[in-house]
Each structure stands twice: as structure tokens, then as C-alpha cells.
Amino acid sequence: AQAALYHYYGIEKKPLDNKLFGVYKHTVVEDNVKLLRGFDDEFYVPHSRYTYVSKEDILANNELTILAESDEAGPNIITTKTGDRIFVMGHSEYDSDTLKLEYERDIQRGLNIDVPNNYFRDDNPANEPIVTWRGHANLFFSNWLNYYVYQETPFSLE
């Protein structure tokens, strides 16, 4: 998403001081958008990255709109005003153990990595992860397929 925002709109990614790593609460910013149909006001999304795009840079582009964002993780779902391009910063597609495996890999490599935020029960990596994003992930992909792919794709039954 960051590469595409740069390619299409010249919005540059910026480095973070520390890796954004964990599961973060997001808020729906735009109501009555088909892509977010059925979403709760707040939902959770995993993130794992060292860079970000600034909210100010996105808002400065009058072709783009932010649909959902997080106080900690920043803009998450960004679209063109026409809805023909969708940019997602988080990783709703992650399996329940993806961040755990990444954390264990980084520890084995000797990296100075924090425990993923809001991921393990009691923030203790000895405990199993708590999946808080699966329902909205499925809803997001279902909405995308239904409203942005199938209903918008011309086809012939003959």
C-alpha cells in the first residue's frame, strides 16, 4: 500500500523510531461506505512495519480519503474518492500465529524486538495469542469481493 501510494500519488513513506508491531484498535472514520458495511465503530488489525505514511500527506491529496484509522497505527484503510483504488496498511489477513512466528524469528536472530502489542494474553509471549481481528477481516474481504469486484465487473453468462 505504501509503495502504491508513492507510485500513484507521490506520498512518501517515513521511518518509524521503533517497529510498529502488534494488534491495534481502529476507528471507522467514514460512515455509509460499502467497503465497511457491517463494521463496528471500533475494530482491531495486526500491524508489522518499520515505516508509515502520514495522515497529513493523505489528507492533502484531494483524490484520497481515509476510511479507518488508529491512534497508534495511523491511517489503515485509504481509498480514492471514486473507490477504484483501495490501500490497506494493516494485515487483517494474518493467521492467529503470524505475529508469534515473526516475534520468535526476530528473537532467534538476536534482534532487539518488543513483544507484539495487544497480541498475547496478558502481553506474555508464553501465552497463546488472542485473535481479535478475524471477524472484521472476513467482513472486509467479503465486502471488497461483493461490492468492488463482483458487482463492478462486467460479465456475460453466454
What residues does 64 pair with on adjacent strands? 80
Q: How many CA atoms lie within 13 A of 3 on its CB side?
A: 0
Question: Is the predicted pLDDT of residue 149 greater than 90, yes or no?
Answer: no
71-120 pLDDT per residue, tens: 999 999 999 998 899 999 999 999 999 999 999 999 999 999 999 999 99
Which pLDDT value is given to residue 155? Answer: 61
Q: What is the pLDDT of residues 124-133, one digit of tens each?
A: 999 999 999 9
Average pLDDT across the chain, whole number: 94
Q: What is the pLDDT of residue 50?
A: 96
**pTM, whole model, 2 decimals?**
0.91
